[in-house]
Structure 1
């Protein structure tokens, strides 16, 4: 822009702003590139926005320049730190491991003492930048008073890359691609500044991908990339979505950190936010204003848990059709888990291989089989479908909704459907499938999907769970147990325990938290089918499950206070357990 023309436009803008608001416009924020030198001599690229002493919000990102994920509003500086081995930072990317964690503590110690800092720091993170903070909380983090962490993993293995011991290879490869792209585009900067760092950066990204594949079980490498306590006792606001690709993490983190005043807002993340909401941006700003600047805005008195629940599927949620529920804890106090048993009798509502029933009674015993072939992620894999949907695929599934429903997927699997509900049921909480299964392959993946089936008969996935047959054991002490029932199993993934081919074995399949209002007249359906094609493919197999009888498969489904799933299904012997 020509300098004189620019000055004229700025003057006009200032005059209009003064006339409309009675106040002069805020000056443009000053942005400064700074390089930080870590204790091992590696330099990291950082970007400071602000030029005078203020509380400073720090974000550690592997996505290069301009990748900050929150504008905290006036009164704050922001510092974006490009993680080592990414963007224009030197060193080797270590998949958010010990060296990156040490960088977090060192950068914060440096930032605390800078002339542009008041000595008060806050943390912001989204996805990888949130994971970096969760992984680092066991270290002393100087001057940090609070954090806002959106859609990050509590345990990288369980929450994103190998949930249920099943390699989630497509999202993992996607993340590495997103990290590698800024390193490539900013490669010329690195090449001109420090040519010797290029091989190190390239090697680190390659090694990170190979390391994930080299550690299929939950071992020490993974434990270094998970939550190991909070030595800082920070006040943390966790933001998540029920359909998010990392949804499990924030729920688990809240349970671990609620004693330090954590809040949980479940309104959207990777998967987008419902129309008519701001995705908790306002709550995030208020959180930082209160804990960093001492603003008495009452945010600390807001409900500890705020839930936006879908009404039938993710698409309806995004369109602004949702049910709100506030609570004091998660799982919500007073939640009841109702035992729904899988039965062989035909429901007459599904187009699956068996069209079975799901209900309160104990049905006749039977064995039913299905081919464990890859299934479409758009249908059977709500977390992974949500992230690609938010990235632009929603236009396609909106034009062709059959792609995102279970209509095309269920004919290749088993399904079990309830009778129509007599009243609304608001389901929110972890869910569990206990199933005895035999397979014809050395290893198979148990894939379970819960759908909301409307009067039109179309099933829409609202929750899913997965488990490799190599991992039948659970850690009962770490599981959520209510009334003697395990309602959220904590699997043991440290060593494989292969099942003999053709012999049935009991498995406890963790379904990620569900948040849906099943309307009166709708049905609840459970699908068993082959693993999502977003997972690492396995050998083709035929899997056989035992249904009916006292040891037959059962689904433990949560319902919030005020909802009575048992009554909605017409009564029967009480089989629900309360938290």
Structure 2
């Protein structure tokens, strides 16, 4: 592996970030993946064409408003170290994490894909890494996923398309923020864009991560904001040779922190407009215009990823538009899925090989056997097998409901979960501000960082301790395998003593030995229970994915003593409960450190709630079952 260029001051920033930036692919504990499924592809990657590269740093890329973005261009080189003269297709990556650092780059340390440095350059592609507006060495004010930044993405592709060293064909790659930029670029439909390969992208940043269920994310977003701000403060390499441009960049970055992104973050934290799904978030959702993505797209997601909810929605939106699209969803957190280190378990080869297959086919016109890759390949929790389907919600799925039955008492007894008749009952849920602290949820919503430091901590894989802080409703041991896949809805009939509160749910697999595997989770603020039926999703006439507006105008306290149904979106997954195991729905009133109540919640977050079951209050869980 050939090393990337190294910024002289890197050791300083590396030490500063070391507490929160692990090596990409450092594995959070997960169920072991099964061997590749039958029919695994036999395609083999082609060998290198070149063995040397040359990089031109800090190319000026002018935007339509006069702002200058900066990009590093890497080209294959001949044996004497000179760039090859032929025009080549270009793979573009737009990053907010400073292209001069080995962070977020191929071979890098944070969301860096598990792809050898210069893998594609050695095989006849040019690579262009560009700092997003207001980050790294680029001018402008950073405002993540804003309309202006989205326009930049399309303009960068159009710029690469018309350069004299380009053959006019462009692809895009990268994970997380870098993957979201690809979707925004594709929605602009710039000339020359032929294919994209986003790993761990978001569909709706508000619902996916910023405010699950209407409460604010307090785990991932603060560390992410510090990372982008910290890497953006590093002086650019061109400071001495272009002092005026460097000064402009520095002023823009400072102004963005004081007058742009920082106030936006604080507004959300203080319960301002950004805390609700209003105009600020409307322009930051790739899913809104996903039908405009008309270039072949390959999405990699994770069942424990921070964007777990949105990745299937992106796949479905692109598929509906008739655009070629593939989706692999594995048992990975954000770092694991972004790195792709374990993607070979899906049976199609390494991440580098998958990307090469994708780009060689759609950009170079080669036959790389893409028909051997199913539209959807997902990991089935509980069995460890990989499942291949043509659609995310395939025709062999049907909706099945399980009724909560009887009463549960915290740390004392479980209620029931049944496909038959439910017994009436009521259970007191006392919110405990420690719930969620030692669970896979904590690891998931910090991007997989805690398990790097404490990888053997039992509660990453066994949720029974956390379940003792809330209520549990268990099925009888199943007699035949129960397979489900897709989004899930829990409708709970509740009353409150304070008018509000959080329902933090976990869908789990209870093994015969009593160990508890957390499959997936869902969250909902009681005061944001308003349901938009037109935007919600139904299967066989049953609700499987509720859609709540999350607006300040739709927020309504539940009068003490009033019983009302609250639909909780449980994030999509694929799993199987095997014979002898039980299906569990666990209910808590907090998910720490993942979510924090809005400041105006006050003591409402601590008020007891009552969960009602059976009879007039048919609390239930509804899922697509295979």
* TM-score (structure 2 length as normaliser): 0.78
Moved more, 480-489 or 301-310: 301-310
Instruction: Tell me the secondary structure at the aligned position of residue 557 of structure 1.
Output: strand
Residues 1:552 and 2:618 are matched in the alignment: yes
2:404 aligns to what? 342
Is 2:435–2:588's contact at 8 Å kept on the other side of the alignment?
no
2:530 aligns to what? 473
1:42 aligns to what? 67
1:329 aligns to what? 391
1:428 CA displacement: 1.6
1:391 aligns to what? 449
Is 2:219–2:445's contact at 8 Å kept on the other side of the alignment?
no
Residue-by-residue CA offset, 1:455-514 (whole Å, 9 max, x unaligned): 110112111001111221222222221222111112222332332233222111111112
Residues 1:523 and 2:582 are matched in the alignment: yes
Is 2:233–2:253's contact at 8 Å kept on the other side of the alignment?
no
1:45 CA displacement: 1.7
Instruction: Tell me the secondary structure at the aligned position of residue 194 of structure 1.
Output: helix
Question: In the aligned structure 1, how far is the partner of 2:520 from the partner of 2:454?
Answer: 21
2:609 aligns to what? 543
Question: In the aligned structure 2, how far is the partner of 1:310 from the partner of 1:184?
Answer: 42
Instruction: Tell me the secondary structure at the aligned position of residue 386 of structure 2.
Output: strand
Instruction: Tell me the secondary structure at the aligned position of residue 464 of structure 2.
Output: coil
Instruction: Tell me the secondary structure at the aligned position of residue 460 of structure 1.
Output: strand
1:417 CA displacement: 0.7
Question: In the aligned structure 1, how far is the partner of 2:181 from the partner of 2:148?
Answer: 11
1:299 CA displacement: 0.9
**Structure 2 stretches lacking a partner, 5+ long:** 1-46, 76-82, 106-111
2:38 aligns to what? none
Question: In the aligned structure 2, how far is the partner of 1:31 from the partner of 1:441?
Answer: 61
Instruction: Tell me the secondary structure at the aligned position of residue 93 of structure 1.
Output: coil
Question: In the aligned structure 1, how far is the partner of 2:50 from the partner of 2:246?
Answer: 38
1:566 aligns to what? none
Is 1:60–1:132's contact at 8 Å kept on the other side of the alignment?
yes
2:90 aligns to what? 56
Question: In the aligned structure 1, how far is the partner of 2:518 from the partner of 2:344?
Answer: 23
1:211 CA displacement: 1.7
Question: In the aligned structure 1, how far is the partner of 2:190 from the partner of 2:422?
Answer: 56
1:8-157 aligned within 5 A: 26-33=50-57, 34-50=59-75, 51=83, 52-65=86-99, 66=102, 67-68=104-105, 69-70=112-113, 71=115, 73=120, 74-157=123-206
RMSD: 2.5
Correspondence for 2:463 among 406, 418, 422: 406
Question: In the aligned structure 2, how far is the partner of 1:190 from the partner of 1:475?
Answer: 52
1:233 CA displacement: 1.1
**Structure 1 stretches lacking a partner, 5+ long:** 1-22, 313-321, 561-579
1:200 CA displacement: 2.5
Question: In the aligned structure 2, how far is the partner of 1:374 from the partner of 1:133?
Answer: 39
Question: In the aligned structure 2, how far is the partner of 1:46 from the partner of 1:387?
Answer: 31
196 and 306 in structure 1: CA distance in 2 versus 1, 3 angstrom threshold: same
Correspondence for 1:434 among 491, 499, 518: 491
269 and 54 in structure 1: CA distance in 2 versus 1, 3 angstrom threshold: farther
Is 1:49–1:77's contact at 8 Å kept on the other side of the alignment?
yes
1:242 aligns to what? 303
1:416 aligns to what? 473
Residues 1:297 and 2:356 are matched in the alignment: no
1:56 CA displacement: 0.9
1:375 CA displacement: 4.1
1:280 CA displacement: 4.0
Instruction: Tell me the secondary structure at the aligned position of residue 230 of structure 2.
Output: helix
Question: In the aligned structure 2, how far is the partner of 1:471 from the partner of 1:194?
Answer: 46
Is 2:405–2:424's contact at 8 Å kept on the other side of the alignment?
yes
2:507 aligns to what? 450
* TM-score (structure 1 length as normaliser): 0.85
556 and 24 in structure 1: CA distance in 2 versus 1, 3 angstrom threshold: closer
190 and 391 in structure 1: CA distance in 2 versus 1, 3 angstrom threshold: farther
Is 2:70–2:131's contact at 8 Å kept on the other side of the alignment?
yes
Is 2:138–2:249's contact at 8 Å kept on the other side of the alignment?
no
Is 1:380–1:464's contact at 8 Å kept on the other side of the alignment?
no
1:550 CA displacement: 4.6
1:271 CA displacement: 4.7
Residue-by-residue CA offset, 1:517-575 (whole Å, 9 max, x unaligned): 32221111110002211212453121111111253210113322xxxxxxxxxxxxxxx
Instruction: Tell me the secondary structure at the aligned position of residue 354 of structure 2.
Output: helix
Moved more, 513-522 or 271-280: 271-280
Correspondence for 1:485 among 524, 539, 542: 542
Moved more, 256-265 or 227-236: 227-236
107 and 116 in structure 1: CA distance in 2 versus 1, 3 angstrom threshold: same
Instruction: Tell me the secondary structure at the aligned position of residue 53 of structure 2.
Output: coil
Moved more, 524-533 or 272-281: 272-281
Residues 1:211 and 2:211 are matched in the alignment: no
Moved more, 477-486 or 227-236: 227-236
Residues 1:311 and 2:382 are matched in the alignment: yes
Correspondence for 1:270 among 326, 330, 334: 334
276 and 392 in structure 1: CA distance in 2 versus 1, 3 angstrom threshold: farther
Moved more, 67-76 or 413-422: 67-76
1:298 CA displacement: 2.1
1:102 CA displacement: 1.6
Is 2:407–2:425's contact at 8 Å kept on the other side of the alignment?
no
Question: In the aligned structure 2, how far is the partner of 1:541 from the partner of 1:89?
Answer: 48
Question: In the aligned structure 2, how far is the partner of 1:275 from the partner of 1:115?
Answer: 36
